[in-house]
Amino acid sequence: MSDRTKRPRHHRRTIRLLTALILGGAAGPGAAEGIAAQAATGVAQEPATVLFSNATLVDGTGAPRYVGDLLIEGGRITALGAPASIEAPPGAERRDLTDLVLAPGFIDIHNHSTTRLFGSPLATTQLAQGITTIVVGADGSSPWPISDYLGRIDDLRPTVDVATLVGHGTVRGLVLGDDYRRTATDAEIADMTVRVEQGMTEGAFGLSSGLEYDPGFYSSTGELIALARASAGHGGFYMSHMRDEEEGLLEAVDEAIRIGREAGLPVQISHIKAGNASVWGRAPDVLERIRRANEAGLDVTADQYPYAAWQSGLAIVVRSRMFSNPDSVAKGIAAAGGGSRLQIVAFELEPELNGLRLDEIARRKEMTEVEAYMWIMENGGSGLIGHTMSDEDVDTFMASEWVMTASDGGVRSAHPRGAGTFPRVLGHYVRERGILTLERAVARATSMPARRLGLDDRGVLRAGARADLVIFDPERVVDRSTFDYGTRQAVGIESVWLGGVETWSDGEPTGARPGRAIRHMP
């Protein structure tokens, strides 16, 4: 059988694998957690009345921390102030938080627990990070229809609140089907626009794109502008996994900003990075473009996970999509810095190879790295962790006023970001290295994503705000997940509250599941 005959089969398999990696599978090891969660009884689900005293309050705005008390009642913060300044109602629980930080619950604006929540509604690795709200539907792949998905979340009642975006790739696939490797016609763009508007009216917060992935890879800038206008018409924003995070990085940033400018809506650049050695050191150039856009009156921000490695599908190493062409494959591997930087995950044919780098697989198989890559792609493709980023660029983005924290991971993520992102920022970048102040790190995880989403009831500590809270030990909090053990639980998060209900305590879920779907209302 010729390469031409075989390519569509493994190409379709690659697309399905990429979608699964982005959205997350509904079945798997977390099913046991789901059964346990369903069986939990006698767990308090109603908001508590609690006076937290002597806490180090970091309010999410970036203002200096201070020691004080905070009272919650009926799922809201009702008072906060100096120690001993608040009179607790009769019967209120009292908790002394001496030497602990009390902050707003963390909002993960780029999370891929989309379907895995249904097998793991306790979302243990998310709670262990202090996350109270997640946003799914990023990278152009979203649930569909939006209303059905949000209804299922309401029925599930997980431990976190869940919002979604509408995916450009999802609606493009609905309209173009398998014939997506081309520019869309005006009629097809009009059809996609109607579907984006449908998703927005059903509660999506904005439009996401994944332009390194199929089918978004083949879309024109004009198509994206048209669909972004549909999001803008309903008060949404545009979030993009840009067209290129490597050699074409700066041009891709320019395109994202152009879409925001011409469509008239805010822009969120996903998991901002300089993806390989060809663009190491260009982080200041990226941030300068974002600064200029904001000074010109646009609203452009980005999010970031605190690791110098990304996760995607093996297919994106070869940007030409010519997976069976040795020269194209060699060029892609070289741009990544060689096979030693490419860690294979989710390879179904031989799972024992998962976790190994491409160069090691080549040695085991007595192949060249190019041959090993082509062999994996011919046998269904795989997931990939690319260790191709520069720590210096990560630091530069970390220190920027335009960048917030987001995991780009989720429940049962193979990448350590899925279990460790928020504690890693607090432990490694704040306490150990001083790249950020504690106040700035909390703002990156709370008020910044809340503002981008237009959620004025969470993300800060103030009277009247939702009692979404995280309590952590600033001397102990840190990630423990690694590239070999991606789901290892973080430590140092002492307690998490969602709408006044405690969901995490003493290193484990309480069993309470007060989470719900959040619907965007323009």
- Which string of DSSP letters, residue by residue, matches 438-462? HHHHHHHHTHHHHHHHT-TTSSS--
What integer is the mean pLDDT of 452-476? 98
pLDDT at position 520 over 60: yes
Q: Which two tokens stand for residue 303?
A: 């999010």
What pLDDT sits at residue 41? 45
Give which of 411, 499, 429 is closest to 129, Cα–Cα.
411
Query: Would you place residue 319 in the very low, low, confident or very high pLDDT band (cuts 50, 70, 90)?
Result: confident
**Residue 429: DSSP 8-state:** I
Q: What percent of the chain has pLDDT over 70?
A: 92
What pLDDT sits at residue 123? 98
Q: What is the side-by-side strand order in the sheet with 403-405?
A: 166-167, 206-210, 237-241, 267-269, 300-304, 403-405
pLDDT tens across 410-459, in order? 999 999 999 999 999 999 999 999 999 999 999 999 999 999 999 999 99
What residues have CB less than 8 Å from 502, skipping those under 6 apart?
44, 48, 495, 496, 510, 512
Segments of 176-328 assigned E as strands? 206-210, 237-241, 267-269, 300-304, 310-313
- Which string of DSSP letters, residue by residue, matches 384-414? EEE----HHHHHHHHT-TTEEE--SB-TT-S
CA 371 from centre of chain = 33
| CA 200/CA 234 separation, integer angstroms | 6
Partners of 466 in beta bridges: 76
Partners of 398 in beta bridges: none
What pLDDT sits at residue 124? 98
pLDDT tens across 354-413, in order? 999 999 999 999 999 999 999 999 999 999 999 999 999 999 999 999 999 999 999 999
- Which string of DSSP letters, residue by residue, matches 224-237? HHHHHHHHHTTT-E
| CA 4/CA 102 separation, integer angstroms | 59
- Which string of DSSP letters, residue by residue, matches 143-178? -SSHHHHHHHHHHH--SSEEEEPEEHHHHHHHHHTT
What pLDDT sits at residue 519? 98
CA 148 from centre of chain = 22
Tell me whether residue 153 is exposed, middle or buried, using C-beta atoms within 10 angstroms of its C-beta: 0 to 12, 13 to 18, 19 or more: buried
* Range scoring the smallest mean pLDDT among 3-12, 211-220, 423-432: 3-12
Q: What percent of the chain has pLDDT over 90?
A: 89
Which amino acid is located at 424 in the chain?
R
| CA 493/CA 409 separation, integer angstroms | 18
pLDDT tens across 173-186, in order? 999 999 999 999 99
Which amino acid is located at 274 in the chain?
A
What residues have CB less than 8 Å from 32, skipping those under 6 apart?
none
3-state secondary structure of 195: helix
pLDDT tens across 102-156, in order? 999 999 999 999 999 999 999 999 999 999 999 999 999 999 999 999 999 999 9
Specify whether the CB–CB gap between 344 and 358 falls below 8 A.
yes
Give which of 290, 238, 292 is closest to 265, Cα–Cα.
238
Give which of 488, 490, 471 is closest to 479, Cα–Cα.
490
Tell me whether residue 141 is exposed, middle or buried, using C-beta atoms within 10 angstroms of its C-beta: 0 to 12, 13 to 18, 19 or more: buried
Query: Would you place residue 254 in the very low, low, confident or very high pLDDT band (cuts 50, 70, 90)?
Result: very high
What pLDDT sits at residue 352? 97
Domain ranges of the chain: 104-309+389-509
Superfamily of domain 104-309+389-509: Metal-dependent hydrolases (3.20.20.140)
Tell me whether residue 130 is exposed, middle or buried, using C-beta atoms within 10 angstroms of its C-beta: 0 to 12, 13 to 18, 19 or more: buried
| CA 159/CA 140 separation, integer angstroms | 25
The counts of H helices and E strands in the chain are: 16, 21
| CA 448/CA 32 separation, integer angstroms | 35
For residues 391, 112, 128 and 471, what is the CA-based torsion angle, rounded to 10 degrees? 80
Q: What is the sign, positive or negative, of the torsion defined by CA atoms of 244, 181, 339, 209?
A: positive
Helix axes 3-23, 369-378, angle to 10 degrees: 80
pLDDT at position 18 over 90: no
